[in-house]
Amino acid sequence: MDIARYSIDKPVNVWLMVVILLLGGVLAMSKIGRLEDPAFTIKQVKVYTNYPGASAEKVEREVTERLEIAIQQMPQLKEVTSVSSPGLSEITVEVKSTYDSNLLPQIWDELRKRLRDTASSLPASAQDPIVFDDFGDVYGLYYALSAPDFDTRELREFARIIRRDLLTTEGVAKVNVTGVQKEQIVAYINPYQLAGLGISFPDLAVLFEDNLRPFNGGRIKVDEKNVRLIVERAPDRLEEISNLSVVVPGTNRSLRVADIATLKLEPADIQPVHVRYNGEEALTLSVSALTDVNIVDVGERVNTKVEKLLQELPVGITLTPIYDQASVVDESVTGFINNLVMSVAVVTLTLCLFMGWRSGVVVGAVLLVTVLGTILIMWLMNIQLQRISLGAMVIAMGMLVDNAIVVAEGMMLRMATGSTAKESASFIVKRTQWPLLGATVIGIAAFSGIGLSNDATGEFLYSLFAVVLVSLMISWVLAVTLVPVLGSYFYRKGINQTNNNEPSAMQKWFKGTLLSALRLRWITIGALFVITIVAYGSFGMVKQGFFPPSNAPLFFVHYWGPQDRDIRATEEVAKEAEKRILEMENVTAVTTFIGQGADRFTLTYAPKSANENYAFFMVRANELENIPAIQSALADKLTHLDFDASFYMERMQFGPGSGAKLEARFSGPDADVLRQLAEETKARLFEDGQVKDIRHNWREKGFAINTQYDNYNAGIAGVSHSDFSQTIQYASSGVQLGTVQDGDYAYSIVAKMGKAEDTELQSIRESQVWSTQQRQYVPFTQVSQGLELMTEEMRIHRRDRVRTITVEAEPGDDETAAKALARIRPVIEDIDLPQGYSLEWGGEFESSSDAQKALGAGLPAGFLVMFIISVLLFGHARQPLIIWLVVPMAIVGVVTGLLATDMPFGFMSLLGFLSLFGMLIKNAIVLIEEIDLQIEEGLAIRQAIVEATISRVRPVSLAAVTTILGMAPLLFDAFFADMAVTIMGGLAFATVLTLIAVPVLYSLLFKVSYRKS
Q: Tell me, what's the pLDDT at 497?
A: 47
Check residue 635 and give its pLDDT.
85
Phi-psi region of 800 (alpha: psi -120 to 50; beta: other; left: phi over 0): left
Dihedral sign of CA atoms 273, 276, 279, 282 in order: negative
739-763 mean pLDDT: 79
Final residue before a domain boundary, out of 323, 346, 369: 346
CB 735 within 8 A of CB 208: no
Q: What percent of the chain shows pLDDT beyond 90? A: 39
Report the 10 Å Cβ neighbour count for 846: 14
Question: CATH number for the domain including 467?
Answer: 1.20.1640.10
Residue 397 burial (CB count, 10 A):
27
pLDDT in tens, 668-685: 999 999 999 999 999 999
Across the range 326-334, mean pLDDT stands at 81
Residue 271 has pLDDT above 60, yes or no: yes
**Max avg pLDDT among 156-160, 665-669, 769-773:** 665-669
pLDDT at 841: 94
pLDDT given at position 685: 94
Q: What is the sign, positive or negative, of the torsion defined by CA atoms of 187, 192, 198, 201?
A: positive
3-state per-residue secondary structure call for 319-381: EEEEEEHHHHHHHHHHHHHHHHHHHHHHHHHHHHHHHCHHHHHHHHHHHHHHHHHHHHHHHHC
For residue 608, give the nearest of 659, 568, 655 by alpha carbon: 659
In a domain, 288, yes or no: yes
pLDDT band for position 807 (50/70/90)?
Answer: very high
pLDDT band at 151 (very low <50, low <70, confident <90, very high): confident
**Is the model's pLDDT at 594 over the cut of 90?**
yes
Residues 898 and 987 occupy one common structural domain: yes
499 confidence band (pLDDT: 50, 70, 90): very low
Q: Check whether residue 198 and residue 152 sit in a common domain.
A: no
In-domain check, residue 671: no
- Count of the separate structural domains present in the chain: 5
Query: What pLDDT, on the 0 to 100 scale, is given for residue 386?
Result: 83
Per-residue CA distances from 398 to 79, 423, 471, 883, 916 (Å): 42, 28, 11, 19, 10
Sheet holding 141-146, edge to edge: 172-178, 283-289, 141-146, 318-324
Same domain, 131 and 141: no
What average pLDDT does this structure show over 293-315? 89
Q: What is the mean pLDDT of residues 124-129?
A: 92
State the DSSP string of 590-628: EEEEESS-----STT--PPPP-TTEEEEEEEESSGGGHH
Same domain? For 510 and 369 the reply is no
Mean pLDDT (the chain, rounded): 87
- Coil, strand or helix: which one is 861? helix
Last residue of a domain, one of 77, 100, 135: 135
Asked if residue 51 lies in contact with residue 59, where contact means CB atoms within 8 angstroms, the answer is yes
C-alpha distances out from residue 207 to 201, 246, 301, Å: 10, 7, 49
175 part of a folded domain: yes
Task: Say if residue 495's pLDDT is above 60.
Answer: no
655 pLDDT tier (thresholds 50, 70, 90): low
Give the H or E element holding residue 47: strand 44-50
For the residues 758-769, what does the mean pLDDT come to? 83
Q: Is the domain of 362 the same as that of 484?
A: yes
Q: Is 614 part of a structural domain of the chain?
A: no
What was the pLDDT predicted at 599? 92
- 257 and 192 within one domain: yes
Phi and psi at residue 578, to the nearest 5°: -60, -40
Q: Give the CATH number of the domain where residue 70 resides.
A: 3.30.70.1430
Half-sphere exposure at residue 928, Cβ-oriented, CA atoms within 13 angstroms: 34
How high is the pLDDT of residue 955? 81
Is residue 13 domain-shared with residue 111, that is, in the same domain? no
Residue 208, pLDDT score: 84
Predicted local confidence at residue 608, as pLDDT? 87
Assess if residue 586 is contained within a domain. no
Q: Strand locations in 223-347, DSSP E?
A: 225-228, 245-247, 254-256, 261-267, 274-277, 280-281, 283-289, 318-324
Return the DSSP state at 709: B
Domain of residue 289 covers 137-180+282-346
Residue 127 has pLDDT above 90, yes or no: yes
Per mean pLDDT, which range of 608-622, 822-836, 859-873 is the poorest?
Answer: 859-873
Domain membership of residue 154 (yes or no) is yes
Least confident of 163-167, 302-306, 307-311, 912-916: 912-916
pLDDT of 507 strictly over 60: yes
Could you tell me if 330 and 451 lie in one domain?
no
Return the closest-CA partner of residue 198 out of 246, 241, 239.
246
CATH number, domain of 770, equals 3.30.2090.10
Mean pLDDT is lowest, of 84-98, 306-320, 775-789, 949-963, for 949-963
Q: What is the strand order of the sheet 587-594 is part of?
A: 280-281, 274-277, 587-594, 614-621, 554-560, 646-651
User: Could you report the per-residue pLDDT of 432-483, keeping only the tens digit for each?
Assistant: 888 889 888 888 887 877 776 666 667 777 888 899 999 999 999 999 999 9
Beta strand pairing status for 283-289 and 141-146?
A: antiparallel
Q: Which pLDDT tens digit goes with each residue over 59-92?
A: 999 999 999 999 999 999 999 999 999 999 999 9
Residue 691 belongs to a domain: no
Amino acid 796: pLDDT: 95
Q: pTM (2 decimals)?
A: 0.83
Same domain, 326 and 468: no
Instruction: Return the CATH number at 320.
Output: 3.30.70.1320
Closest CA to 184 of 748, 698, 563: 748
Same domain, 403 and 456: yes
- Judgement on whether residues 391 and 336 belong to the same structural domain of the protein: no
Query: What is the rounded average pLDDT of the residues 659-670?
Result: 91
Residues 29-59 have pLDDT tens digits of: 888 888 777 777 788 899 999 999 899 999 9
pLDDT by residue (tens digit) across 246-263?
A: 888 878 888 888 888 888
Q: Which of 769, 792, 815 is the last residue of a domain?
A: 792
511 located within any domain: yes
Sign of CA dihedral 668, 673, 675, 677: negative
pLDDT at residue number 797: 96
> Do 751 and 780 sit in the same domain of this protein?
yes
* Secondary structure (3-state) at 491: coil
pLDDT of residue 498: 46
Per-residue pLDDT band at 216 (split at 50, 70, 90) = confident
pLDDT surpasses 80 at 383:
yes
